Chain A
Amino acid sequence: MAPSQASYAPSLDNLIKSFNSQPLEASIESLIFLLKRRQVKGDECARATAHILRQVVAKSKWHDVDQLLSRVQSAGSRLVRAAPLEPVIGNIVRRVLGLIRDEASEDRNNADDVTSEAASDIQTLGPSAPPPLPRPVPVPIRPGPSAISAGMQVSKSMFNLLSVADPGDSPATGASTPLSQAQPASVHALRSEVMDGIEEILDEINQADDQIAGFSDIQIHPGDYVLAYQPTRSVERFLVKAASKRRFTVIIACLDSPNSGAAEPPYATLRKKLNTAGVNTINLVSNGLMAYIPRVNKVIFGAKAVYQNGGLLVDSGCCIAAQAAHEHLKPVIVLCPVYKFCPEDPSDEVSRGELGTPSSYVSYANGPGVDALEVENTVTDYIPPELVDVYLTNLGPQTRHHLASILADHYKTEDIGFSLQLGEP
């Protein structure tokens, strides 16, 4: 919900700023702390994860690709464990791992290609990052096709699996690839390239909302009644963008407890923006939505994550909207940037939903109530894929039948279960 985002956003920004000055371990710990207290959630998890992994790449000690992978994996799995219901964290970790593998294999395969294009691409680096160097590295050439090298990487990570017990030390084993003998220069180059890659991921995260909003005039037609369920920032941007081109009506619904929005009606800023653009808004304060769906042309909400079967993790209540719209054959449009696609299936935990604080519904001042009630306030929902019509990503609209190709483009199979590969942090 928008107001609370505003309240904790500065703390995250401060945290990200502090990453540069703090030791790595302290940064990770403070982020884990925020994650555990659910003070960083949703889209911000992605940003925070990317930032912290950038620090991991920049600051931690590593001498070869294996070590780097293992560092990222261990930091990543700690973050994932801190917030098990924020799959976005895992996605970013996987993206970074895939990035490292790509860079490493590029190094290996194109070792002759000394004039790496990366050197020219690099613009800014973190202060702790060494200046980018061209790579005059005589890495031993692996003569096989890339498929073989990929296979070797899989075996590498399995060796990592065995060397978990001592991840701090170099897990260099006899089976290590020639990269383990790589010179410091190569390490520097890899470091900078990986950090560039992470910057790109961050850019992607930051631009995703705008890119999605670019599709708004395709999806929203003049005169539509659009039901926006608990509009997230992406949805808000989408609607505001659409409002600049179309005249329609937005029905905003949310599941907030009546107490929490006492100060001002919820989504006041969004409504103001839309109203000035000439778009009517109606704030629904209603539990059920079936009554309004006949009036509505389409339902829009943002997802917290998209699983590989097409199922969604969403704020609780969205499921009601999706279900009601589905029954009335109204399209359900889900805004989900590509970085929210998880190469996983939803766990039981996900489909049961996360429990939030009951105190906004049953006050602790109400003694008999507290005694008598076993309150279950579910704050996340799982939406099965059948209920969703359009997945609107920053790469364009998708249907659930083609999600596999997106996943294949963005993740490496060996990284999918990364958090399981490492036991203890």
Chain B
Amino acid sequence: MAGEGNGAPSGAPATQDGPKPKSTPPPANSTGTPTNTSPEKLTPAQLKAKAKAEKAARRAQVKEARAAAASPATPTQEKGAAGTDTKGGKGKGKQDVQQASNRPRPSVSGRRPSMPIVEKDARSGIPESFSHVPMAKRIPMSQAHKDVHPAVLAVGQQMATFALKDSISRLKATLLAFRKVIESYETPKGNSLSRHFVPHVLNPQIEYLTECRPMCFAMGNAIRLLKGKVNKFDIDTAEDEAKEGLLEWIDLLINERITLAEFSIARNAAQSIKEGDTILTYGRHRLVEKTLLEAKRNGKSFDVTIIDDPYERSGQELAKALRQAGIHVLYSPNLGGLRPKVAEASNVFLGGEAIFANGSLHAASGTADVAMAAMNAGVKVIVLCETINFDRDRVSVDALTYNEIDPERNTADCFRLLFDVTHDKYITGVITEFESGGGNSPAQAILALLRKQEDPLIA
């Protein structure tokens, strides 16, 4: 794939690195021993000594995960935790069968009592009118449910700390982690993968990820597709065959819907940039950045105006990257003076997190203001979005339907939502990997197209 190298945002590939030499376990091991006892009582008598050896390995691994959480979750430690999963995974599946009966809600049962207090504190400051909006939270690794696969643990931590931020990098990391989960999965006796895998292995992972940070819509889509895929296996399908099929499918999904999509969106969108244009964008979005650089590589000369969010300042990075490529950049640190700046632009390029069934765009807070100002000034607003981000099941008319609270600014003193919703009347067109350039097709058209061809390769 042409874009393979391009596609991986900095934090994403952490789980990809396979078994790696463990980072030295920090000395904080002793703190975790209490939870360690819980699997012990569950161990049934019929398991042989082999099972015990596995358990020891598993215990070491839990300790390590906990240690990684106790110290600030640095990527290397997470990688270490993720690397061990292949060893522990075998025991995991068995453990899962045994626990299936006494696991009412994994999210609660695996917790320490201290956790709910912390949790309450985090949400107590949220003003009542926004109290329904979910918020990412950091769950110490030791408090995660024991069914959670180490690779997923690491991804969850990265999501909770916003090391994995945008929808696509979260999706990619999730898929790669699920890949590990599948690799290490073993169907217990008397069960088949298509019946057992989703409820007993996959769902706890998903629940954990959702707890760390509400799932993005791309993840929702991918998980729906994955479950569909698993359910389609005949009950008699050999386990190896099924696993192989799933792994292949995940690779295909990553290649087609992420890597290739990114490549073709950048190519299509770059074509719509004309010589001498002034392109205005908001914040930093991967696809917009790729597009601008691609257009520059094609030899076009154009100016870029970057409107930034002073609470993120990601636009500064984009400005530097573009400046290095030789593009003239005007940087505005906030939305002040938006109207005159927008009026001078020839195109507005926006990236998004998701597009809902009613065509509205779910994107970083402030995007809607920029789109609206541009539309009022008669400037084209073009949204770049992969089709995996299209959510055909949800409709959002205002930004309070689906949103997230910034976990660092969640009190009445200081409050912020992460996203807003841009009504489709403020969007001229959407460029996805399906369309060939232009950016003139509204989101509705793409939704219709998607509905028609639920990709036969993928679903």
Interface residues in chain A, defined as those with a beta carbon under 8 Å from any beta carbon in chain B: 225, 249, 255, 257-258, 265, 280-292, 294-295, 316-317, 319-320, 323-324, 327, 351-353, 358, 361-362, 368-369, 372-379, 381-382
Q: Is B336 an interface residue (CB 8 A)?
A: yes
Question: Across the interface, do A362 and B414 meet the contact criterion of CB distance under 8 Å?
Answer: no
Q: Which of B352-407 contact A (CB under 8 A)?
A: 365-370, 372-373, 376, 398-400, 403
Instruction: Please give, as numbers and ranges, the residues of chain B lying within 8 Å of A316 by CB-CB distance.
Output: 334, 336-337
User: Could you write out 26 A-B pairs with CB less than 8 Å apart?
Assistant: A225-B129, A258-B311, A280-B412, A282-B415, A283-B412, A285-B415, A287-B335, A289-B369, A290-B420, A290-B421, A291-B365, A291-B400, A295-B130, A320-B369, A323-B373, A323-B376, A324-B369, A351-B339, A351-B340, A361-B310, A361-B334, A368-B320, A372-B329, A376-B337, A377-B334, A379-B336
Measured between alpha carbons, how far is A221 from B46 in the docked complex, in Å?
71
CA separation between A104 and B313, bound complex, in Å?
59
Instruction: Out of A288, A327, A369, name the residue touching B335 (CB < 8 Å).
Output: A288
Q: Please tell me if the beta carbons of B412 and A291 are within 8 angstroms of each other in the complex.
A: no
Set of chain A residues within 8 Å of B400, measured between Cβ atoms:
291, 294-295
Given A290-B399, A291-B400, A369-B316: A377 and B412 interface contact (C-beta under 8 Å): no
Closest to B376 in A: A323
Determine if B330 and A281 form an interchain contact, defined as CB atoms under 8 angstroms apart.
no
- Listed residue (B130, B368, B369, B415) with the most chain A CB atoms within 10 angstroms of its CB: B369
**Contact between chains at A323 and B337 (CB < 8 Å):** no
Within the complex, the shortest CB–CB distance from B162 to chain A, in Å, comes to 16
Q: Residues of B contacting A255 with CB < 8 Å?
A: 310, 334-336
Q: Are A317 and B335 in contact, CB atoms less than 8 angstroms apart?
A: yes
Complex alpha-carbon distance, A379 and B369, angstroms: 17
Establish whether residues A285 and B409, one from each chain, have CB atoms under 8 Å apart when the complex forms: yes
Contacting pair B340 A362 (CB below 8 A): no
| CB atoms of B329 and A374 under 8 A apart | yes
Report A-chain residues with C-beta under 8 Å of the C-beta of B233.
Answer: none
Known interface pairs A317-B336, A353-B340. Does A290 touch B409 (Cβ–Cβ under 8 Å)?
Answer: no
Bound together, the chains give a CA A281 to CA B419 distance in angstroms of 21
Instruction: Please name all residues of chain B whose beta carbon is closer than 8 Å to the beta carbon of A319 when the two chains form the complex.
Output: 336, 338-339
CA distance A18 to B65 in the complex (A): 70
Using A280-B127, A285-B311, A323-B369 as known contacts, say yes or no to A373 and B399 having CB atoms under 8 A apart.
no
B296 to nearest A CB, angstroms?
Answer: 15
Return A231 CB to nearest CB of chain B, in Å: 16
Residues of B in contact with A (beta carbons under 8 Å apart): 127, 129-130, 308-311, 313, 316, 319-320, 323-324, 328-341, 365-370, 372-373, 376, 398-400, 403, 409, 412-417, 419-422
Q: Smallest Cβ distance from A173 to chain B, in angstroms?
A: 46
Q: How far is the CB of A254 from chain B (nearest CB, A)?
A: 10
Q: How far is the CB of B416 from chain A (nearest CB, A)?
A: 5
Inter-chain CA distance A393–B385, complex, in Å, is 47
* Most chain B CB inside 10 Å of its own CB: which residue of A291, A319, A379: A291
Given A288-B366, A290-B368, A361-B333, A352-B340 contact (CB < 8 Å): yes
- Where chain B touches its partner, the secondary structure class is mixed
Instruction: List chain B residues, Cβ under 8 A from A281.
Output: 412
Specify which chain A residues have a CB less than 8 angstroms from the CB of B335 in the assembled complex: 255, 287-288, 317, 320
**Interface-centre pick from B310, B323, B398, B415 (highest chain A CB count, 10 A):** B310
Residue of B nearest to A358 (CB): B333
Tell me if B419 and A291 are in contact (CB < 8 A): yes
Chain A minimum-CB-distance residue to B129 = A295
> Is the beta-carbon distance between B332 and A377 smaller than 8 angstroms?
yes
In the complex, what distance in Å separates the CA atom of A376 from the CA atom of B330? 7
Using known A-B contacts A284-B415, A284-B416, A378-B337, determine if residue A291 contacts B329 with beta carbons closer than 8 Å.
no
Whether A378 contacts B399 by the Cβ 8 Å rule is no
Instruction: Kindly list chain A residues whose C-beta atoms are within 8 Å of the C-beta of B341.
Output: 376, 378
Q: For the complex, what is the distance from the CA of A297 to the CA of B73, rounded to whole Å?
A: 43
| Contact between B373 and A286, CB atoms less than 8 A apart | no
Per the bound structure, the CA–CA distance linking A249 and B309 in Å amounts to 26
A264: min CB distance to chain B, Å: 9
CA–CA, A327 to B127, complex, Å? 25
Q: Roughly how many angstroms separate A388 CA and B387 CA in the complex, as a whole number?
A: 39
CB distance from B372 to the nearest CB of A (A): 6
Q: How far is the CA of A193 from the CA of B346 in the complex (A)?
A: 57
Q: Determine which of A287, A327, A378 lies in contact with B310 in the assembled complex, contact meaning CB atoms within 8 Å.
A: A287
Set of chain B residues within 8 Å of A258, measured between Cβ atoms: 310-311
Establish whether residues B310 and A257, one from each chain, have CB atoms under 8 Å apart when the complex forms.
yes
Query: Cα distance A323–B422 when bound, in Å?
Result: 14
Q: How far is the CA of A316 from the CA of B340 in the complex (A)?
A: 12
CB contact under 8 A between A291 and B415, given known A320-B335, A353-B336: no
Partner of B339, one of A265, A294, A372, A381: A381
Residues of A near B372 (CB, < 8 A) are 290, 323-324, 327
Q: Tell me which of A265, A362, A375 has the highest count of chain B C-beta atoms within 10 A of its own C-beta.
A: A375
In the complex, residue of chain A having the shortest beta-carbon distance to the beta carbon of B411: A283
Given contacts A283-B414, A295-B130, A361-B313, 20 further A-B contacts (CB under 8 A): A249-B129, A255-B334, A255-B336, A282-B412, A285-B415, A285-B416, A287-B309, A288-B309, A288-B370, A291-B400, A291-B419, A319-B338, A320-B335, A323-B372, A352-B337, A369-B320, A373-B323, A377-B332, A377-B336, A381-B339
Q: How far is the CA of A284 from the CA of B335 in the complex (A)?
A: 15
Q: How far is the CB of B324 from chain A (nearest CB, A)?
A: 8
The distance from the CB of A250 to the nearest CB of chain B, in whole angstroms, is 10
Contact for A283 among B329, B373, B415, B419, CB less than 8 A: B415
Kindly list chain A residues whose C-beta atoms are within 8 Å of the C-beta of B127: 280, 282
Q: Are A375 and B333 in contact (CB under 8 A)?
A: yes
Shortest Cβ distance from residue B319 to the other chain A in the assembled complex, whole angstroms: 5
Q: How many Å lie between the Cα of A177 and that of B228 in the bound state?
A: 96
Instruction: Give complex CA distance A378, B337 in Å.
Output: 5
Q: A residues within 8 A CB of B419?
A: 291
Contact A294 B398 (CB under 8 A): yes
Of all chain B residues, the one with the shortest Cβ separation from A324 is B369
Bound together, the chains give a CA A324 to CA B137 distance in angstroms of 30
Contacts of B370 in A (CB 8 A): 288
A374 touching B320 in the complex, CB below 8 Å, given contacts A280-B127, A291-B399: no
Which residues of chain A come closer than 8 Å to B331, judged between CB atoms?
A: 362, 373-376
CB distance from A223 to the nearest CB of B (A): 11
